[in-house]
């Protein structure tokens, strides 16, 4: 029984030894999607030898992860690039969409932090030519809503803009050609101290120490509208066209976020850079704040749980005529969120109901399999979530124990006397109370009693 709660497919470890922990696309406490079965996923790819000799003549259709001739393919790395390509191919200039699906990275998985080679992403994107920062603000509102509703603890959504970063690099004396690589150094500031990032910039990437130091002054800044106003007055930044545009939009964004009532969790943070190349404007990242645990130690944190930004150039890269469709989107790290929810659930030792089954159809005596089948069929046809043990003559005790183990709240017991009387004995598992219910009222009775649960 225990394992029924551990069913998320994760393609983990170097040996592709697909072990499963967690639940499929639903938080552990949310139960299953189908009344009569547990959802289980399996890894999308397996060692080739596992699939050999299982399918008969169909085997020739097995898709191997090696060159079988034909196009050179690669697995989806995120949901953003395929979405941009989809817009270009279908000439869509205006859409709001979400997509929950798996992406693939040739990485070394870190399971405790919810990082795998194959994992779900949950993306939300708004594409189209609109007035500035309105869709951007909605993306942030949605991240705020999701993280609040899931009660993941305190969080902050860091916000920055690629134009502000590029403007900052320019006024600090970074050569144009080094913008992206210096940007990716700045991106490491959430994991490394400034001194290390500085020495990477200067030592590895050949930036002048003066430029690095000027960057160092900016990237330690974070705040809200006040900081934006201050930077709009900054003698150097205010002279840079890109930075000024970025700061103007950032101000607008904060005004909209104020109307949404969420600025309390938003931090304009000049150290936020985001690793991906395709962002062109606003970027953001939601980070869970460490909870103080009882020992005062640093708990293993999961860090970033959502990120995104504006990518106005990506669709144009796939359009034969280079037509641009401005886009802004967010990706929710649902695997990481699940791993936090799971850890919390384990810590709380809360008992999770592993089934949505409303009633077990049981029998008190032998030779009643046919009667159980007839009754369960009636219940299924009426839309009741019912189960029975797949035994000809199960012991009543085993049937009741099964309900205790899985959390099924009701037992509908057929016995010879009940059949004669035209009733079914309904047992409430929690209280052990038993009532005789007329057969024609059983469905209604089960509905009433389970709607209270």
Binding residues for L-histidine: 78-80, 105, 121, 125, 274, 278-279
User: Least CB distance from residue 288 to a copy of itself, whole Å?
Assistant: 22
User: Least CB distance from residue 226 to a copy of itself, whole Å?
Assistant: 20
- State how far the Cα of 147 lies from the Cα of 155, in Å rounded to an integer: 8
Query: Of residues 176-195, which lie at the interface with a copy of itself (CB under 8 A)?
Result: 180, 184
* Phi then psi dihedrals of residue 421, to 5 deg: -80, -5
Contact window for a copy of itself (CB under 8 A) among 79-87, 208-216, 341-349, 433-441: 79-87
Q: How many residues bind a copy of itself (CB under 8 A)?
A: 110
- Which residue among 116, 124, 218, 268 contacts a copy of itself (CB under 8 A)? 124
> Does residue 82 belong to the site contacting a copy of itself (CB under 8 A)?
yes
Contact window for a copy of itself (CB under 8 A) among 158-166, 256-264, 341-349, 430-438: 256-264
> Does residue 51 belong to the site contacting a copy of itself (CB under 8 A)?
yes
Comparison of 58 and 193: residue with beta carbon closer to a copy of itself = 58
Contact window for a copy of itself (CB under 8 A) among 191-199, 231-239, 252-260, 408-416: 252-260
3 is written with which tokens?
Answer: 């394992």
Contact window for a copy of itself (CB under 8 A) among 62-70, 284-292, 428-436, 440-448: 62-70
Q: What sign has the CA pseudo-torsion 19, 20, 25, 27?
A: negative
Binding residues: 78-80, 105, 121, 125, 274, 278-279
CA distances from 187 to 184, 194, 284, 404, 437 (A): 5, 11, 12, 51, 66
Query: Of residues 406-425, which lie at the interface with a copy of itself (CB under 8 A)?
Result: none
Q: Where are the beta strands (DSSP E) in 298-394?
A: 304-310, 327-332, 359-363, 386-387
Residue 166 CB-half CA count within 13 A: 17
Find out whether 84 and 311 touch, Cβ atoms under 8 Å. yes
Contact window for a copy of itself (CB under 8 A) among 210-218, 271-279, 293-301, 415-423: 271-279
User: Least CB distance from residue 41 to a copy of itself, whole Å?
Assistant: 6
150 is written with which tokens?
Answer: 């899931």
Query: Among 296, 293, 271, 295, which residue's Cα sits nearest to residue 284?
Result: 271
- Which residue among 8, 12, 28, 83 contacts a copy of itself (CB under 8 A)? 83
- Which residue among 30, 65, 206, 417 contacts a copy of itself (CB under 8 A)? 65
- State how far the Cα of 209 lies from the Cα of 219, in Å rounded to an integer: 15
Query: Of residues 348-387, which lie at the interface with a copy of itself (CB under 8 A)?
Result: 369-370, 373-374, 377, 380
> Does residue 110 belong to the site contacting a copy of itself (CB under 8 A)?
no
> Does residue 276 belong to the site contacting a copy of itself (CB under 8 A)?
yes
Query: Among 244, 281, 278, 271, which residue's Cα sits nearest to residue 167?
Result: 244
> Does residue 10 belong to the site contacting a copy of itself (CB under 8 A)?
no
Find out whether 240 and 171 touch, Cβ atoms under 8 Å. yes
- Which residue among 90, 233, 348, 431 contacts a copy of itself (CB under 8 A)? 90
Comparison of 68 and 348: residue with beta carbon closer to a copy of itself = 68
Comparison of 181 and 238: residue with beta carbon closer to a copy of itself = 181
Q: Alpha helix (H) ranges present in 327-395?
A: 334-348, 369-381
Find out whether 414 and 424 touch, Cβ atoms under 8 Å. yes
End-to-end CA distance of the chain: 21
Query: Of residues 294-333, which lie at the interface with a copy of itself (CB under 8 A)?
Result: 314, 317-318
Q: List all residues 6 or more positions away from 72 whose beta carbon is below 8 Å from its beta carbon.
A: none
Comparison of 16 and 364: residue with beta carbon closer to a copy of itself = 16
User: Least CB distance from residue 55 to a copy of itself, whole Å?
Assistant: 6
Beta pairing, strands 410-414 & 386-387: unpaired
Comparison of 123 and 214: residue with beta carbon closer to a copy of itself = 123
Query: Of residues 221-250, which lie at the interface with a copy of itself (CB under 8 A)?
Result: none
CA distances from 59 to 18, 47, 49, 71, 74 (A): 21, 14, 12, 20, 22
Q: Where are the beta strands (DSSP E) in 137-272?
A: 155-161, 222-223, 266-269
User: Least CB distance from residue 298 to a copy of itself, whole Å?
Assistant: 27
């Amino acid at each position: 029984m225990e394992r029924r709660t551990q069913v998320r497919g994760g393609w983990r470890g170097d040996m592709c030894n697909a072990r499963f922990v967690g639940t499929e696309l639903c938080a552990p406490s949310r139960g299953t999607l189908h009344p009569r079965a547990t959802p289980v996923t399996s890894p999308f790819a397996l060692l080739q030898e596992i699939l050999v000799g299982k399918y008969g003549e169909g085997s020739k259709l097995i898709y191997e992860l090696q060159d079988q001739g034909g196009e050179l393919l690669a697995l989806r790395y995120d949901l953003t690039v395929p979405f941009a390509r989809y817009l270009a191919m279908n000439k869509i200039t205006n859409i709001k969409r979400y997509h929950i699906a798996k992406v693939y990275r040739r990485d070394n998985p870190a399971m405790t932090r919810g990082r795998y080679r194959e994992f779900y992403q949950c993306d939300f994107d708004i594409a189209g030519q609109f007035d500035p920062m309105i869709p951007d603000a909605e993306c942030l509102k949605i991240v705020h809503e999701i993280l609040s509703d899931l009660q993941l603890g305190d969080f902050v959504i860091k916000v920055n803009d690629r134009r502000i970063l590029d403007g900052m690099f320019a006024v600090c004396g970074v050569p144009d050609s080094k913008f992206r690589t210096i940007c990716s150094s700045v991106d490491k500031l959430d994991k490394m101290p400034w001194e290390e990032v500085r020495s990477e910039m200067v030592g590895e990437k050949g930036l002048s120490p003066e430029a690095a130091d000027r960057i160092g002054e900016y990237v330690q800044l974070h705040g809200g509208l006040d900081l934006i106003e201050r930077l709009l007055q900054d003698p150097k930044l205010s002279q840079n066209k890109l930075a000024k545009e970025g700061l103007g939009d950032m101000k607008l964004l904060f005004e909209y976020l104020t109307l949404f009532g969420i600025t309390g969790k938003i931090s304009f943070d000049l150290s936020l850079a985001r690793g991906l190349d395709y962002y062109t404007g606003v970027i953001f990242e939601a980070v869970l704040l460490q909870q103080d645990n009882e020992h005062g130690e640093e708990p293993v944190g999961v860090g970033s749980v959502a990120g995104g930004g504006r990518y106005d150039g990506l669709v144009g890269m796939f359009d034969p005529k280079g037509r641009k469709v401005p886009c802004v989107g967010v990706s929710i790290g649902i695997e990481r969120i699940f791993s936090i929810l799971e850890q919390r659930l384990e810590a709380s030792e809360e008992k999770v109901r592993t089934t949505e089954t409303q009633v077990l159809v049981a029998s008190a005596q032998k030779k009643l399999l046919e009667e159980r089948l007839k009754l369960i069929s009636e219940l299924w046809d009426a839309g009741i979530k019912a189960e029975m043990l797949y035994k000809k003559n199960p012991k009543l005790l085993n049937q009741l124990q099964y309900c205790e183990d899985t959390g099924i709240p009701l037992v509908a017991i057929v016995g010879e006397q009940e059949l004669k009387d035209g009733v079914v004995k309904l047992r409430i598992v929690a209280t052990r109370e038993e009532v005789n219910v007329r057969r024609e009222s059983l469905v209604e009775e089960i509905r009433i009693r389970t709607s209270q649960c």
